[in-house]
Chain A
Amino acid sequence: MLEQVDAVYPTEARDRGRSPVVELNVTVLADGSIGEVAVHTSGGPPFDAAAIDAVRAWRFEPARRGEEAIDSRIRVRVQFTAPAPAPEPEPPAPDVDEPSPAPPDAATPTAEEAPIDVTVRGERSLRTEDRGASSFTIDRDLLEAAPRQEAAEVLRSAPGVYIGRGEGLAVAHHYMLRGFDAEHGQDIEMRVGGLPVNLPSHVHGQGYADLGFLIAETVDELRVHEGVYDPRQGDFAVAGTFDLRLGARDRGFRIASSYGRFNTFRQLVMWAPDEQPGETFAAAQYSRTDGFGERRQGQSASGVAQAMFGETGAAWRHRIITVMHGARAELAGVVRADDVEAGVVDYYGAYPYPTARAQDALAGRVMAGYFPEYRGARGDNAQLGVWLGFDDFRLQENFTGFTQISQTLEGVSGRGDLIEQQNRTFSIGAESRYRTRPYRPAWWAEGTVELGFTGRFDAISQTQSLLDATVRGQTWDRRIDATIHGADLGLYGDLDWRFTRYLRLRLGMRADVLFYDIDDRLGNFVPLSRPDDTFLQGFRRDAYGVAAGPRTSAEVTPLPWLSLRVAYGEGYRSPQARTLDDGERAPYTKVRSGDLGLRLSPGRAGLVTVTAAGFYTHLSDDVVFEPREGRLERVGATRRLGGVLAAEARPLSWLIGQLSLTYVDAALLEPPPATAEEPQPPFTPGQNLPYVPPVVVRADLGVAGPLARQGRPWALSGRLGAGFSYLSPRPLPYGGASDHVPLLDVSAGLKFGPLDLGASVFNALNHRYAAIEYNFASDWDLASPRPRTPARHIAAGAPLSFLITLGVSL
């Protein structure tokens, strides 16, 4: 830093005695002057304004790539210190991302200091995770541009992503990511604050990942890595990884209440101590709704707390995080489209039978993690982590009406296919990695080496039964009763090397050892009519497998604003343990993923970023949801071939926007396995995969700025936002396609001093759409012969709704 102007402690805030920290994202232009300045972590409007005013006057030594000075973005931390009781103002100590040797003399408004090389340390990422052309980091300003009904909807802003809620508040969202219908998470590795979210071998779907615990105000940054090119990506990174970082930019207290259509209510309380880093916060939310139709009432509550210990730039920093969540909701289930057409049941309704009226779900989760990180003096760094979690899940859902026959009770059938699923998972995990200091064997080569491991152990108990809703939930058949112990130990190495300023290569390798111990208490099931006095029911077995593959990427940077990227990686998805035989080499799904694309960022840093990429993903054997048993079934090898075009722009300090379009052709490459019912499954090479939308479009637009002069205690600012998601018709099994889904959400808000008022409208086009849509056989008519051919079933998505929020931030 060449020139530094201290921020002035705002006089209007002096009597409150706060010592907040303001973090700013600052663009340092190639000439060393300051470009765009945006608040990353707010200390309150007067402090933000004071910090911006000060930083605008700074001058920096610009970052350089080789010899050439370039634009760069840095994060600047400004610590205000509350004035002593004495009336004289005490200026704050500014700090640029790393400990300054000594705080500048507060009395000196301008300080000449030794230049600070802002490109080397400070907020520099500990490791590069942005590898393929389709890796996207979505910052908080974009995440909060469009309104979100729930925190997990921030994912919609990532190119190629769509999430929907088809099964109420207490069942995980339905995720889609560039050609993958990931159901409840089977194809997407999800991490929140470093905690892994996916649950292996979950009874409701492999890799089940419920993000219901997220609190929107605490999502600081979303990193979406599409493809599997980073050796750190583990199980379920098939389509890619969602990595959500948590933090609170608005410091202090916040209380906000929201109320809207369908008697929806949400209460948020949140606090983030002023003097603490942005990662430190605690937040809790409660929400409830009557729902937009029959049996859609639900409630949920969650609390998330995170604390970062250690000064910015200190050798060791320690982060702890805890998450608690509980939700319960009624379910309307699915209804047959032909019944809706015939007026038998309403689009937003549920069947009148007790078995349909007893559909509901409960979810509970607690997670905690401790993640220390080390920054060595010579540029090496390390991270450690230990975490544990407990997840409780119970669901009663009837997809098929009245088609089941009890296997355990003689002559009992047709009591309603109300499937009860219970799943309890206790997980404990650890991870560690170390990246060396940069080696420079020649002037044209420089790089680092990283070694790491991730490990987890899961103890899972699960049941699946049929319940009779007319007789107080009597159990009339048992389908699953199992305990599974599973472990996954992953080991990886990674080279990250730059050869001249034009080429950067990353070569990695990862291997995972998976093992399973399965106690299937209903295994070797004895049908009623067979002698059962010669052995005891049950099938205990264990299995072991190794999944290994390379993770490579190359980046060519011919011009400072143009980067060409190519990447290839192999990932895996662990198998559903219950499907394994004794001694079976755990047949994980092998994923081969390739990406080729370019990224342009012309103009000043952050002005506009355009990404264009093509991708190819091949899966050795894929799975598709089978509604009859509520489980995933193998379909054979598949491939996705597609492209993504995404642009993100911040043309003005008060305007942000992004637009993305993803097209994918998802096809089945080989016939699904033959079964007794389908000895020769229908197959034409290249036929499309069901449920995958070929086109996904997303647009976000946000306008935010002061409406009156900043710096006053009761400054007025406003914001407008809009988000649009479009999902093209999805092919369904047995032919046909679902309807398309265009969803527009808009919002507006005013902030006046500590008060804010906002209004959001969701599905503003009031488009009637199905949140989930399936084709399968069901019988919901008790007075007619049983239909057996596949029929269209839908679970309605929410119609137009609005939410008004009143908040106070102190």
Chain B
Amino acid sequence: MSRWIALLGALACACVDTGGGAVAVPLYVAGTAQAGPIDGKDGVTIELARAELAFGPLYLCAGAQAGELCETARLEWLESAVVDALDDAPREVGALTGVTGWVRSWMFDLGVTSLLTRDEPLALAAADALDGASVALEGVAHVGDVALPFRAAAPIQQEEQTERGVPVLRKSASEEFEHEVTVAEAGLLVRFDPAPWVAQIDFASYLVEETCSIDGPTIACAGAVEQRCAGADVEATRDCAALDALCLRGIGCASELELEAGGQGLKAIRDQVVAGPRPTFTWGYEG
């Protein structure tokens, strides 16, 4: 009996085609090795020593716009991985799974994903590996003849006032992204270039020479001398050079600049990561 049933099933199955099919597409990520110093804002050049990005999850959608208009995606990768954005070599991080067909938009998160079921976004493994950050950068900015080592790390996520339940980055209308995914698809390579992320940071503003003034900062730098200010009065001074450090406006003596939340530096990184030049997507990549 069961043999007959199986035969019937096989016969009926053979001629069924709904015009779609399950597919798994290997996903590779890569960075961009920087050939030389990166041109930054106001003539500053930057050398990056570390540029890591928490990437994922990633969704590819049928419609031209992702976001809420992509309730059903074609392909998805629900995990996360740390991308070394300075490493040219592609690395396989998993597979996009879903169904075949045209994809026209993408959206992804940076290791921290907003869920409809909770107020706080969920940090995934990649963000955990970066201590909760989506992006971690280290390098040296050359402002004139001053070499300013810097470090930055920040989560980039949906906030209370922004959208909930959709990834933070989406393909824009000005980008080209259209591909028909078939079962024969070799792979998708997503390549990030970290250069734009640091290009808008106003490093020079940390090296402004000034003395205490009524409307000035609480910590001013007169050359390498740190001044702690109470209005126009100088409360204390310290020679940073003697400490083998730099004097940074608003910070004082420090061996490196750690970009703080709410400051222009992290905002510039965030704006450039989410709305600056986008990663490139290369289909047919075979590893």
Chain A 645-688 interface residues, beta-carbon cutoff 8 Å to B: 665, 668, 676-680, 682-684, 686-688
B97 adjacent to A789 (CB under 8 Å): yes
List the one stretch of B12-20, B188-196, B276-284 in contact with chain A.
B12-20
Among A678, A682, A737, A742, contact of B5 (Cβ-Cβ < 8 Å): A742
CB distance from B225 to the nearest CB of A (A): 50
**How many A-B pairs fall under 8 Å by CB?**
152
B116 adjacent to A682 (CB under 8 Å): no
The answer to the question of B122 belonging to the interface, with a C-beta cut-off of 8 Å to chain A, is yes
The answer to the question of B250 belonging to the interface, with a C-beta cut-off of 8 Å to chain A, is no
**Could you give 30 example pairs across A and B, Cβ below 8 Å?**
A405-B116, A414-B165, A628-B72, A676-B65, A680-B62, A680-B102, A682-B20, A682-B62, A683-B19, A687-B17, A688-B18, A728-B12, A729-B9, A733-B20, A735-B19, A735-B99, A740-B9, A740-B12, A765-B1, A783-B122, A785-B56, A785-B109, A785-B115, A787-B78, A788-B70, A788-B73, A789-B74, A789-B97, A789-B99, A790-B98
Chain B CB within 10 Å, residue with most, of A677, A687, A733, A740? A677
A740 to B10, CA, bound (A): 10
Residues of A near B99 (CB, < 8 A) are: 734-735, 789-790
A740 adjacent to B115 (CB under 8 Å): no
A777 adjacent to B17 (CB under 8 Å): no
CB distance from B188 to the nearest CB of A (A): 15
Please report the total number of B residues contacting A with Cβ < 8 Å. Answer: 51
B63 adjacent to A413 (CB under 8 Å): no
Among A402, A676, A678, A790, contact of B116 (Cβ-Cβ < 8 Å): A402
Residues of A near B164 (CB, < 8 A) are: 405, 411, 413
Residues of B near A686 (CB, < 8 A) are: 17
Residues of B near A742 (CB, < 8 A) are: 5
The answer to the question of B75 belonging to the interface, with a C-beta cut-off of 8 Å to chain A, is yes
Given that A682-B20, A729-B9 are known contacts, is A789 also in contact with B69, CB under 8 Å in the complex?
A: no
A214 to B62, CA, bound (A): 45
Given that A676-B63, A788-B73 are known contacts, is A687 also in contact with B18, CB under 8 Å in the complex?
A: yes
Chain A 356-382 interface residues, beta-carbon cutoff 8 Å to B: none
DSSP class of B's interface residues: helix, strand, loop or mixed?
loop
7 closest cross-chain pairs (CB), A and B: A728-B12, A414-B116, A687-B19, A414-B117, A735-B21, A735-B20, A789-B98
CB distance from A410 to the nearest CB of B (A): 11
The answer to the question of B124 belonging to the interface, with a C-beta cut-off of 8 Å to chain A, is yes
A176 to B222, CA, bound (A): 85
The answer to the question of A558 belonging to the interface, with a C-beta cut-off of 8 Å to chain B, is no
Interface string of A681-712 (1 = CB under 8 A from B): 01110111110011101000000000000000
B18 adjacent to A697 (CB under 8 Å): no
The answer to the question of B59 belonging to the interface, with a C-beta cut-off of 8 Å to chain A, is yes
The answer to the question of B57 belonging to the interface, with a C-beta cut-off of 8 Å to chain A, is yes
Contacts A694-B16, A740-B8, A742-B5 known; list 7 others, CB within 8 Å: A405-B116, A679-B104, A680-B102, A728-B8, A737-B13, A777-B73, A785-B56
Residues of B near A688 (CB, < 8 A) are: 16-19
The answer to the question of B130 belonging to the interface, with a C-beta cut-off of 8 Å to chain A, is no
A689 to B18, CA, bound (A): 6
CB distance from B179 to the nearest CB of A (A): 13
Among B8, B61, B102, contact of A695 (Cβ-Cβ < 8 Å): B8
B62 adjacent to A677 (CB under 8 Å): yes
A472 to B58, CA, bound (A): 36
A693 adjacent to B12 (CB under 8 Å): yes
CB distance from A525 to the nearest CB of B (A): 15
Residues of B near A737 (CB, < 8 A) are: 13, 16
Among B56, B70, B100, B165, contact of A677 (Cβ-Cβ < 8 Å): B70
A735 adjacent to B72 (CB under 8 Å): no
A785 to B125, CA, bound (A): 12
A737 to B18, CA, bound (A): 9
The answer to the question of A786 belonging to the interface, with a C-beta cut-off of 8 Å to chain B, is yes
A735 to B97, CA, bound (A): 13
Chain B CB within 10 Å, residue with most, of A697, A734, A740? A734
The answer to the question of A108 belonging to the interface, with a C-beta cut-off of 8 Å to chain B, is no
Given that A786-B115, A788-B71 are known contacts, is A731 also in contact with B63, CB under 8 Å in the complex?
A: no
CB distance from B189 to the nearest CB of A (A): 20
CB distance from B156 to the nearest CB of A (A): 15
A789 adjacent to B76 (CB under 8 Å): yes
CB distance from B84 to the nearest CB of A (A): 22
A742 to B63, CA, bound (A): 39
A682 to B99, CA, bound (A): 11
The answer to the question of A404 belonging to the interface, with a C-beta cut-off of 8 Å to chain B, is yes
Chain A 366-415 interface residues, beta-carbon cutoff 8 Å to B: 402-405, 411, 413-414
Please report the total number of A residues contacting B with Cβ < 8 Å. Answer: 53
CB distance from B118 to the nearest CB of A (A): 7
Interface residues of B (CB under 8 A from A): 1-2, 5, 8-9, 11-13, 15-22, 56-57, 59, 61-65, 68-76, 78, 97-102, 104, 109, 113, 115-118, 122, 124, 164-165
The answer to the question of A114 belonging to the interface, with a C-beta cut-off of 8 Å to chain B, is no
Given that A726-B5, A790-B99 are known contacts, is A777 also in contact with B71, CB under 8 Å in the complex?
A: yes
CB distance from A677 to the nearest CB of B (A): 5
Residues of B near A136 (CB, < 8 A) are: none
A682 adjacent to B101 (CB under 8 Å): yes
Residues of B near A731 (CB, < 8 A) are: 16-18
The answer to the question of A128 belonging to the interface, with a C-beta cut-off of 8 Å to chain B, is no
Residues of B near A678 (CB, < 8 A) are: 62-63
The answer to the question of A732 belonging to the interface, with a C-beta cut-off of 8 Å to chain B, is yes
A578 to B122, CA, bound (A): 39
B13 adjacent to A728 (CB under 8 Å): yes
The answer to the question of A99 belonging to the interface, with a C-beta cut-off of 8 Å to chain B, is no
The answer to the question of A616 belonging to the interface, with a C-beta cut-off of 8 Å to chain B, is no
A694 to B15, CA, bound (A): 8
Among B20, B65, B115, B118, contact of A734 (Cβ-Cβ < 8 Å): B20
Residues of A near B9 (CB, < 8 A) are: 728-729, 740
Residue of A nearest to B15 (CB): A694
A790 to B75, CA, bound (A): 9
The answer to the question of A782 belonging to the interface, with a C-beta cut-off of 8 Å to chain B, is yes
Interface string of A785-802 (1 = CB under 8 A from B): 111111000000000000
CB distance from A665 to the nearest CB of B (A): 7
A403 adjacent to B76 (CB under 8 Å): no
Residues of A near B117 (CB, < 8 A) are: 402, 413-414, 782
CB distance from A539 to the nearest CB of B (A): 23
B19 adjacent to A682 (CB under 8 Å): yes
A665 adjacent to B73 (CB under 8 Å): no
Chain A 715-748 interface residues, beta-carbon cutoff 8 Å to B: 726, 728-737, 740, 742
B59 adjacent to A788 (CB under 8 Å): yes
A777 to B16, CA, bound (A): 22
The answer to the question of A776 belonging to the interface, with a C-beta cut-off of 8 Å to chain B, is yes
The answer to the question of A534 belonging to the interface, with a C-beta cut-off of 8 Å to chain B, is no
A690 adjacent to B18 (CB under 8 Å): yes
A679 to B75, CA, bound (A): 16
The answer to the question of A784 belonging to the interface, with a C-beta cut-off of 8 Å to chain B, is yes
Given that A413-B116, A697-B8 are known contacts, is A789 also in contact with B102, CB under 8 Å in the complex?
A: no
A402 to B114, CA, bound (A): 13
A735 to B101, CA, bound (A): 11
CB distance from A306 to the nearest CB of B (A): 40
CB distance from A676 to the nearest CB of B (A): 5
CB distance from B267 to the nearest CB of A (A): 24
Residues of A near B73 (CB, < 8 A) are: 777, 788-789
Among A414, A689, A697, A789, contact of B115 (Cβ-Cβ < 8 Å): A414
Residues of A near B70 (CB, < 8 A) are: 677, 788
Among A405, A411, A684, A693, contact of B19 (Cβ-Cβ < 8 Å): A684
CB distance from A178 to the nearest CB of B (A): 14
B63 adjacent to A677 (CB under 8 Å): yes
A776 to B98, CA, bound (A): 11
CB distance from B264 to the nearest CB of A (A): 29
Residues of A near B61 (CB, < 8 A) are: 677
Given that A677-B63, A789-B73 are known contacts, is A784 also in contact with B78, CB under 8 Å in the complex?
A: yes
CB distance from B68 to the nearest CB of A (A): 8
Given that A726-B8, A735-B18 are known contacts, is A786 also in contact with B74, CB under 8 Å in the complex?
A: no
Residue of A nearest to B19 (CB): A687
